[in-house]
Chain A
Amino acid sequence: MRNPQLNAAGELQHLLTLEELPAQIIDRILDTAVPFVSIAERDVKKVPLLRGKTVFNLFFENSTRTRTTFEIAAKRLSADVINLNIGVSSTTKGETLLDTIDNLVAMNADMFIVRHGQSGAPHLIAQHLSATRHTHIHVVNAGDGRHGHPTQGLLDLFTIRHYKHDFRRLTVAIVGDVLHSRVARSLIHGLTTLGTPEVRVIGPQTLLPTAVESLGVRVFHDMHDGLAGCDVVVMLRLQSERMKGSLLPSAGEFFKNYGLTVAKLKLAKPDAIVMHPGPMNRGVEIDSAVADGQHSVILPQVTFGIAVRMAVMSILAGN
């Protein structure tokens, strides 16, 4: 089956997932993002690439950070941005998801940035746009269920490339709740596509999905073994509702086993970088001394995130 996010010419029509996204397209997005980083440092932080275009931030699940960064990115590209926080699932809402989309299409939308609690919702929207012959409208997945968060994955790749340059020499560890993490899935796909020789996931069995090795990762249950020799350590957010229950006994025990401390970080390479998609739970998955320490690139990730989203939107608008 052809990846639904590419058009017949193999160009990016939508950004739905990093799985099967060709390395050339990923490279192009990352390359395009480089000059956008410096735009943010100018007095006038705008370019006219999306002037006259209307971008809908369609958030069926609450998010402040991702929505804000998309909004800033679109505005810096001179687009008109409309924020819709629908905030409830399409089944409990009177109007169906696709009815909502049809209405916004009638308002001449050019791009949908979609965050949804259900895996596959952006694919459904993209397929619907294709079936209704609105092929000029682009969909960007801003996080769907546990499935994907491709712009987060891309900004993680951008950050790693910025500090480490060559993916083909790296060992990257992703730590924590991989089971529920769309961030982890997207990053794993991106890293393997770009030739990263060793991608590790570290966590207890309850937080690692079945057959996760099939994604091309090595599984570690012990933090000490898993961190040894790593160039990049990516800590995942642990949702508060998962800290106590049948997945984990307590946040404290999780921190003891899988929280990143200065001492544990010493097991990684001396120049290792520490990343986190945010928002962080200090003292649960990461110690403040690490989060604010010299290895941390967590705040640069946020800055790069805007540039990467600008790159994605400008490339989509050009296709």
Chain B
Amino acid sequence: MKIEISNGRVVDPKQGIDRVATVYIAAGKVAALGAAPAGWHANRVIDATGLVVCPGLIDASARLREPGFEYKATLESEVAAAIAGGVTRLACPPDTDPPLDEPGLVEMLKHRARLLNQAHVYPIGALTVGLKGDTITEMGELMEAGCIAFSHGDAALVDTQVMLRALQYAATFGYRVWLRPQDVHLARGGVAHDGEVATRLGLPAIPACAETIALETIFELVRATGVQVHLARLSTHEGVARVRAAKKAGLPITCDVAIHHVHLCDVDIGWFNAHCHLVPPLRGVRDRAALRAGLADGTIDLICSDHTPVDDDAKQLPFAESEPGATGLELLLPLTLKWAHEDGLPLATALARITSEPARVLGLNAGHLGTGADADVCVFDPDLRWVVAPAALKSQGKNTPFLGLELAGKVRYTLVGGQVVHEA
């Protein structure tokens, strides 16, 4: 199968390409860019005039809800959402039920994803058995089964001794560890940022120092062990400053932010909008500005969707009792474009945060359109406006604070391994 994506604006951040060109795909790989290979004859030509052609998006955190939460979402529904959103590779956190703490579960997930033959799924293994925080998992076995890193999801890892040992063990074998910086005790019971909004609404709050204290703990453990740590879901002004300083000091760390936190802040909770109940909590206006600045200067390496499909019933509860999270796979691209537009950033800079940068952090040879690379491609119309509505989303989770909002940027074609898996 030879496919030609002709005359689109090809944006490949990793290769520094942003020009109108034709992409030639053969045998599942990028065969050439610009000039056709000798003797080229396409089986299919996709006219991308007026469209952007970029590497398939890589989402560093998307919950597929399998195993255990199939009533919220299934692998089928969420992978369909991924490719509809232009996402061709995604990493899923271990907080399933049971958690991804043994090879069989990981193999099953990989196997099921392979059968679907759509987006690539990269499980992140549980750092401790059952995410209970006391026994480290068989990380070697889990790696062999297909895990790409280890994390504790949003589960509490109370015991710092266990954390130290888990990081030492991971460091021994060169495994990456993903940690969400949040002090367990300071966050206990909290559902909103400790600030004016939580005070006004009477919501139990999580202070910003819950993040900075956890960051400093992690930094010390990174210094002690040399482990490569990826910091998941930064949320505060001070947190960004600490990460910036730690990176400057040469610590082997990377970090991400969820797309929601790039756009929203605690004020958006309005009158108890449970769609704005997120983990970590939406913080203040100043924090959001710092996250954007961190993204612009590279302190924050990548943007993820932190896709968390939640069923309606679990959101139709008083704010603190509602289940946190928002659907995001299909919003990652338009919301990233919105950020770039608002902050006046070049398209390539924005797309790097959802293509080449997550590829680097996940350790994948992907996220670019270099000759010979897997032909994972996203072709989107940057100007097509659409309204976020339940019917417009393929994800089983219709839970998003952006319901009713008109966004620009719609995926027209998604290719995985040279196959068109989505077109609209």
B317 near A96 with CB under 8 A, answer yes
Contact of B320 among A4, A118, A211 (CB under 8 A): A118
Interface string of B306-331 (1 = CB under 8 A from A): 00000001001111110000000000
Is A97's CB within 8 Å of the partner chain B? yes
Q: Which stretch (B32-40, B83-91, B194-202) binds chain A?
A: B194-202
Bound: A215/B195 CA distance, A: 11
Q: Contacts A96-B313, A145-B202 hold; do A211 and B318 have CB atoms under 8 A apart?
A: no
Within 8 A of B (CB), among A1-23: 1, 3-4, 16, 19
Across the interface, do A123 and B317 meet the contact criterion of CB distance under 8 Å? no
B317 touches A124 (CB 8 A): yes
The answer, among B195, B316, B318, for a CB contact under 8 Å with A118, is B318
Residues of B within 8 A of A146 (CB): 202-204
Which of B196, B202, B317 is in CB contact (< 8 Å) with A214? B196
| C-alpha spacing A97/B207, complex, angstroms | 29
Q: Which residues from chain A contact B203 at a C-beta distance below 8 Å?
A: 119-120, 145-147
Contacts of B319 in A (CB 8 A): 118-120
Minimal Cβ-Cβ distance residue in B for A91: B321
Q: Does B71 contact A (CB under 8 A)?
A: no
Which of B198, B274, B317 has a CB less than 8 Å from the CB of A97?
A: B317
Q: How many residues of B contact A (CB 8 A)?
A: 23
Name the residue on A nearest B271 (C-beta).
Answer: A123
The answer to whether A120 and B199 touch (CB under 8 A), given A91-B317, A96-B313, is: no
Interface residue count for A (Cβ, 8 Å)? 32
Most buried by B among A19, A89, A120, A121: A120
Q: How far is the CA of A120 from the CA of B195 in the complex (A)?
A: 17
Give CA–CA (A308, B204) in the complex, Å.
30
* Nearest A-chain residue to B208, judged by Cβ: A210
CA distance A179 to B6 in the complex (A): 62
A212 touches B202 (CB 8 A): no
Closest residue on chain A to residue B195 by CB atoms = A211
Contact partner of A212 (CB less than 8 A), chosen from B199, B270, B317, is B199
Q: Which residue of chain B lies nearest to A189 when distances are taken between CB atoms in the complex?
A: B200
With contacts A118-B321, A124-B318, A209-B199 known, what are 12 further pairs, Cβ within 8 A? A16-B271, A89-B321, A90-B318, A97-B318, A118-B319, A120-B320, A124-B272, A185-B200, A210-B196, A210-B198, A210-B207, A215-B200
Interface residues of B (CB under 8 A from A): 194-196, 198-205, 207, 270-272, 274, 313, 316-321
3 closest pairs, A vs B, by CB? A146-B202, A120-B272, A147-B202
